[in-house]
Structure 1
Amino acid sequence: MCGIGAVARIDGGHLDAGVDGLLERLAQVLAHRGPDERELLREGPVGLAFTRLSLTDPDGGSQPLTLDDGSLTLIANGEVYNHRELAASLPTGTRMRTGSDCEVLLHLYRERGIRFLDDVRGMFAVILWDRRAGRLLLARDRFGIKPLYFHRNASRIILSSEMKALFLDGETPRRFDWDTALTTPALAASPTFSEAPVTTWFEDVNAVPAGTIMRIDLNGGHTSEHPYWSFPGTIRDIPRTADDFVERYRALLADSVRECATADAELGLFLSGGVDSAAVAALAAAQDVPLHTFTVLSAATYRNQDAEYAHRVAEKLGLPNHQVLFDGEHVPTAAEWKRLLWLTETPLCSPEIYYKHELHRYAKVARPHLRGMLLGAASDEFNGGYSVDMAGGGDWHDFTVQLAAMTRTGRLRDRPDLAPWWAHGNAGLLTDEAVADLTGAAPGDPYHEYLAGQYRKIQQYNVWHEDRSAAGSGIEARVPFLDHRLVELAAAVPPHLRPQLLWDKQILRRGVRDLLPEDVAARPKTPFFYGPGLPHTYRMLTRMLERDGGALIDEALSAPGAERYLNADGVRDRLRQAVADPTSSQIEMALRVVNLGLLAAMAVDLPPATRSTPSGSVRPSLSVQDWAGQRAKVELSVGLRPTLAAGLVPRLADGVLLLTRPAESDRWYLAVDGVIEYVLDGDNPTYRDLLTRVDGQTSLGMLLDDLDVTLDDLRPVLTDLTDQGLLELPGAYPA
Structure 2
Amino acid sequence: MCGLAGLIRHDGHAPAQVERVLAMRERQRHRGPDDQGLWHDHYAVLAHNRLAMLDAEHGAQPMCSADHRYVLVYNGEIYNYAELRRDLAAYWPFRTNTDTEVVLAAYAVWGEACLRRFNGMFAFLVWDTHRQQAFAARDRLGVKPFVYLQQGGEFLFASEAKGLLPAMQAPRANIEALLEYLVAPFFSGVAQPMFDGMAYLPPGHLLRLDRHGLRLSRWSPEITENLAATADDIARALRDRLAAAVRRSLIADVPVGLFFSGGLDSTLIGGLARAAGATPPCLTIRFEGHDRYDYARSLIVASDDQPFAEHAASKLGLPREDVTPSRSALAHDLSRLAAQNDALPAWEQELAQHHLARAASTRLKAVMVGDAADETHYGYHFLLDPHAISDPTHILQRLTADPYLRHGLLEQPLQHYGNVYRKLAIAAGHDWDTPAGRLRATQWLVRHRWLQRLLHNGDIHCMAHGLEARVPFSDTEVLDLAATIPPELALRDGVEKAMLREASRGALPEAVRLRRKSALPKDQGNGELLRQHVREILATDAGRIAGLLDVPRLQRRCADPSPLNEHERAVMFRTCALAHWSRIHGVSMP
- Shorter-chain TM range is 0.7 to 0.9
Q: Distance in 1 between matches of 2:360 and 2:185?
A: 35
Say whether residues 1:446 and 2:438 are aligned partners.
yes
**After the TM superposition, which residues 40-51 of structure 1 pair with which residues of structure 2 at under 5 Å, given as runs?**
40-51=38-49
Say whether residues 1:552 and 2:537 are aligned partners.
yes
CA shift, 1:242, in A, is 0.5
Q: Is the 8 A contact 2:177 2:193 kept in 1?
A: no
Q: Distance in 2 between matches of 1:363 and 1:89?
A: 36
The one-letter code sitting in structure 2 at the alignment partner of 1:598 is H
Q: Distance in 2 between matches of 1:12 and 1:443?
A: 53
Match of 2:61 in 1: 63
Q: Is the 8 A contact 1:373 1:475 kept in 2?
A: yes
Match of 1:160 in 2: 158
Match of 1:233 in 2: 223
Q: Distance in 2 between matches of 1:49 and 1:552?
A: 38
CA shift, 1:287, in A, is 0.8
Match of 2:368 among 351, 367, 374: 374
CA shift, 1:511, in A, is 1.0
Match of 1:96 in 2: 94
The one-letter code sitting in structure 2 at the alignment partner of 1:7 is L
Distance 1:239 1:89, change over 3 A: farther
The one-letter code sitting in structure 2 at the alignment partner of 1:2 is C
Distance 1:564 1:500, change over 3 A: closer
The one-letter code sitting in structure 2 at the alignment partner of 1:176 is A
Match of 2:548 in 1: 565
Larger Rg: 1
Q: Is the 8 A contact 1:4 1:76 kept in 2?
A: yes
The one-letter code sitting in structure 2 at the alignment partner of 1:543 is L
For residues 513-543 of structure 1, the C-alpha deviation after alignment (integer angstroms, 9 at most, x for no partner) is 211111111112223337xxxxxx3541431
Q: Distance in 2 between matches of 1:197 and 1:295?
A: 27
Q: Is the 8 A contact 1:212 1:225 kept in 2?
A: yes
SS in 2 for 1:467: helix
Match of 1:520 in 2: 512
Match of 2:298 in 1: none
Say whether residues 1:278 and 2:280 are aligned partners.
no
Match of 2:322 in 1: 323
Q: Distance in 2 between matches of 1:563 and 1:519?
A: 48
Say whether residues 1:489 and 2:481 are aligned partners.
yes
Q: Is the 8 A contact 1:144 1:211 kept in 2?
A: yes
The one-letter code sitting in structure 1 at the alignment partner of 2:568 is Q
CA shift, 1:507, in A, is 1.2
Match of 1:308 in 2: 307
Q: Is the 8 A contact 2:51 2:466 kept in 1?
A: yes
Q: Distance in 1 between matches of 2:57 and 2:167?
A: 32
Match of 2:85 in 1: 87
Q: Distance in 1 between matches of 2:124 and 2:312?
A: 37
SS in 1 for 2:547: helix
Q: Is the 8 A contact 2:189 2:344 kept in 1?
A: no
Distance 1:344 1:265, change over 3 A: same
CA shift, 1:227, in A, is 0.9
CA shift, 1:256, in A, is 1.0
Say whether residues 1:245 and 2:247 are aligned partners.
no
Distance 1:443 1:46, change over 3 A: farther
Distance 1:251 1:239, change over 3 A: farther
For residues 107-139 of structure 1, the C-alpha deviation after alignment (integer angstroms, 9 at most, x for no partner) is 222232222201211111101101222211121
Q: Distance in 2 between matches of 1:275 and 1:517?
A: 10
Distance 1:167 1:502, change over 3 A: farther
CA shift, 1:554, in A, is 4.3
Distance 1:62 1:280, change over 3 A: same
The one-letter code sitting in structure 1 at the alignment partner of 2:355 is E
Distance 1:96 1:518, change over 3 A: same
Q: Is the 8 A contact 2:368 2:471 kept in 1?
A: yes
Q: Is the 8 A contact 2:352 2:521 kept in 1?
A: no
Match of 1:188 among 178, 183, 186: 183
Which deviates more from structure 2 when the two are superposed, residues 564-573 or residues 51-60? Answer: 564-573
SS in 1 for 2:286: strand
Distance 1:297 1:100, change over 3 A: same
CA shift, 1:343, in A, is 0.6
Q: Distance in 2 between matches of 1:598 and 1:93?
A: 52
Match of 2:571 in 1: 589
Distance 1:267 1:197, change over 3 A: closer
Q: Is the 8 A contact 2:256 2:368 kept in 1?
A: yes
Sequence identity of aligned pairs in percent?
26
SS in 1 for 2:586: helix
For residues 540-586 of structure 1, the C-alpha deviation after alignment (integer angstroms, 9 at most, x for no partner) is 14314414x82234455232xx3333221122234456x52244321
Match of 1:255 in 2: 244
Q: Distance in 1 between matches of 2:268 and 2:490?
A: 21
More relative contact order, 1 or 2 (CA 8 Å, 6+ apart): 2
Distance 1:443 1:99, change over 3 A: farther
Cα RMSD over matched residues? 3.1
The one-letter code sitting in structure 1 at the alignment partner of 2:478 is L
Q: Is the 8 A contact 2:177 2:192 kept in 1?
A: yes
For residues 344-370 of structure 1, the C-alpha deviation after alignment (integer angstroms, 9 at most, x for no partner) is 1123343211111111212223x2xx1
Distance 1:571 1:484, change over 3 A: farther
Q: Distance in 2 between matches of 1:493 and 1:267?
A: 30
- Segments of 5+ residues of structure 2 without an aligned counterpart are 293-302, 397-410, 416-421
CA shift, 1:406, in A, is 3.3
The one-letter code sitting in structure 2 at the alignment partner of 1:233 is I
Say whether residues 1:465 and 2:457 are aligned partners.
yes
Q: Is the 8 A contact 1:378 1:458 kept in 2?
A: no
Match of 1:351 in 2: 348
The one-letter code sitting in structure 1 at the alignment partner of 2:552 is D
For residues 491-524 of structure 1, the C-alpha deviation after alignment (integer angstroms, 9 at most, x for no partner) is 3223543442883212111111211111111112
- Segments of 5+ residues of structure 1 without an aligned counterpart are 411-418, 424-431, 531-536, 607-735
Match of 1:36 among 34, 37, 57: 34
Q: Is the 8 A contact 1:332 1:544 kept in 2?
A: no
